[in-house]
Structure formats: C-alpha cells, structure tokens
A and B are shown apart, each in its own frame.
Chain A
Amino acid sequence: GENVEQHPSTLSVQEGDSAVIKCTYSDSASNYFPWYKQELGKGPQLIIDIRSNVGEKKDQRIAVTLNKTAKHFSLHITETQPEDSAVYFCAARRYNFNKFYFGSGTKLNVKP
C-alpha cells in the first residue's frame, strides 16, 4: 500500500514569513494529492489539491508543488498570518481508489 511521510511535525514561523511543509509518497500510481487544514476543535478541511498531470498550483497565498519523479509534494504558505495556525495534513490517493493515505500532520504556529 501507499506510505506518506510528512515533515516537519511542528513548524513555528513569524507572522509574514513563509512556511513550507513537505510530503513524500511511495506508490507511483498515486495521482491525486490534497492538503487539509485542521483548526482546533474542527474536522480537516481541504485547502488545495493537485493532480499528477500538473506541477504546481496556486491559490492566493497558498501553493502546492509536485515532483512525480522524486515522489514528493510540498505546501507553501506565503505571508503567513496568525489565522494560518493549525495542523496541516497531506494525503495521496491512487486513481479510481476510494482510499486516501494521510501524512502524520504538521502543527504550524504563526507568531504575531
């Protein structure tokens, strides 16, 4: 099965700085890579995703990059704000499969 590794487990940045979270996956058949944000007391919520036919995707201050050859993908948050503080999860899924494999999570703390 798929194995998704996520680093770092905790990340502390100053407001306005950038934050980068990295994930690697093992199954070359995985083709869909979502990122979820989980705020305290809430369930995870999708913030951005990327499919394997695309190398990069941006949505305002958030971007995701994918390197299929190296089997890794990253979340980039620019101009971080205190409300970005949360736990972030990456995930991977094979085409036509119901199962998502999640990373272990990164707790991001943005200091004002």
Chain B
Amino acid sequence: DVKVTQSSRYLVKRTGEKVFLECVQDMDHENMFWYRQDPGLGLRLIYFSYDVKMKEKGDIPEGYSVSREKKERFSLILESASTNQTSMYLCASSLGRRGENEQFFGPGTRLTVL
C-alpha cells in the first residue's frame, strides 16, 4: 500500500513564525502536491512538484514556498505565518510523469496560527 505521511497532525504557531510542514511518500512517486482544505472551498492546490528540485505554482501559492530535495520528501514552508493561513493542509503523491494516475493523500496537518 502507498503510504503518505505528514510530520504533524496538529500544529499551533504564532503570527510571524516560520512554519515547516513535511510530507514523505514511500512509493517512489514522481509527483507530489500540497493542498489547502477549507470548509465550503474544497481542496485548493498550493504547489506541486513533478521531480526533484522541480516545482510549479498551484492556484494559491502566495505566502507559501516549497522544497523538494529528495524524491520522497516534499516540504511546505510558510515564511511568516499569518492567521489567514489557519487551515487543514493535505499532501498527496501520484505516479507518472504527467500525473495521470490516482493521487494518494496523507492524513493532513491541521495548522492553527494565533
């Protein structure tokens, strides 16, 4: 079974702090994704990566950056956390150069910014 793990289930940070969310997948998938999930808005894509050191902006990249130094790991960085970044963050991965296959999701990290 594909396993996507996220470093924390719950995280509480203060405004202005630098926040790192880590995601690891164990199935050698090329593609990795970071989504934000808010009530009534579904899942919105923040960034994705289709290869090591490659990244592309999603629909809501402002205030976020990402890092993919190893194939299995994709990090989401909030350079200076703000209260409007309080949300559920979901990481996903998929096989295939062009993301033609099923996305597998991690359990999510619920981030609260005070």
Q: Nearest-CB distance from A66 to chain B (Å)?
A: 17
Assess A98 versus B48: contact at CB under 8 Å? Given A43-B108, A46-B103.
yes
Distance A45 CA – B104 CA, assembled complex (angstroms): 7
Distance A17 CA – B80 CA, assembled complex (angstroms): 48
Instruction: Let me know if B62 is at the binding interface, CB within 8 A.
Output: no
1/0 per residue, CB under 8 A from B, across A89-111: the answer is: 10101001111101111000000
- Please tell me if the beta carbons of A97 and B108 are within 8 angstroms of each other in the complex: no
Distance A36 CA – B105 CA, assembled complex (angstroms): 10
Q: Please give, as numbers and ranges, the residues of chain A lying within 8 Å of B35 by CB-CB distance.
A: 102
- Please tell me if the beta carbons of B42 and A43 are within 8 angstroms of each other in the complex: no
Instruction: Let me know if B41 is at the binding interface, CB within 8 A.
Output: yes
Query: Interface size bucket, B side?
Result: 20 to 34
Closest residue of B by beta carbon distance from A90: B42
Distance A45 CA – B44 CA, assembled complex (angstroms): 16
Most buried by B among A32, A96, A98: A98
Distance A44 CA – B90 CA, assembled complex (angstroms): 9
Closest residue of A by beta carbon distance from B105: A43
Tally of A-B Cβ pairs under 8 angstroms: 59
- Please tell me if the beta carbons of B100 and A96 are within 8 angstroms of each other in the complex: yes
Query: Interface size bucket, A side?
Result: 20 to 34
Q: Please give, as numbers and ranges, the residues of chain A lying within 8 Å of B31 by CB-CB distance.
A: 98
Assess A100 versus B45: contact at CB under 8 Å? Given A34-B102, A43-B4.
yes
- Please tell me if the beta carbons of B105 and A96 are within 8 angstroms of each other in the complex: no
- Please tell me if the beta carbons of B43 and A44 are within 8 angstroms of each other in the complex: yes
Q: Please give, as numbers and ranges, the residues of chain B lying within 8 Å of A99 by CB-CB distance.
A: 45, 48, 58, 99
Instruction: Let me know if A52 is at the binding interface, CB within 8 A.
Output: no
Closest residue of B by beta carbon distance from A103: B42
- Please tell me if the beta carbons of A102 and B98 are within 8 angstroms of each other in the complex: no
A-binding residues in B (CB < 8 A) = 4, 31, 33, 35, 40-45, 48, 50, 56, 58-59, 90, 92, 98-100, 102-108
